Amino acid sequence: MPTPVEYYFDFSFPYGYITSGKIDELAASYGRADLCRPFLLGVDRLDQVEKRLANGGF
């Protein structure tokens, strides 16, 4: 079986939902599965800010 198409998208991003449907179709047209990895960009950025503040700021 071919390697699946792996992609990340943010649920809060309005085009993420639309794009996910297009990726499903594209992967299927090449006989590959798709592997969706939900990602919350805002949470990741908050974590980075907290780390910078803990290390003395920006």
User: Which residue range forms the structural domain that includes residue 39?
Assistant: 5-54
pLDDT the model gives residue 32: 95
pLDDT the model gives residue 20: 79
Supply the DSSP symbol for 14: H
Which amino acid is present at 32?
R
pLDDT the model gives residue 57: 64
Q: How many Å apart are CA 23 and CA 29, to the nearest integer?
A: 10
Q: What share of the chain is helix, strand, coil (3-state, %, to 5)?
A: 50, 15, 30
pLDDT the model gives residue 7: 87
Number of domains in the chain: 1
pLDDT the model gives residue 19: 82
Give per-residue pLDDT as tens, 3-58.
999 988 877 777 877 887 888 899 999 999 999 888 777 666 777 777 777 877 65
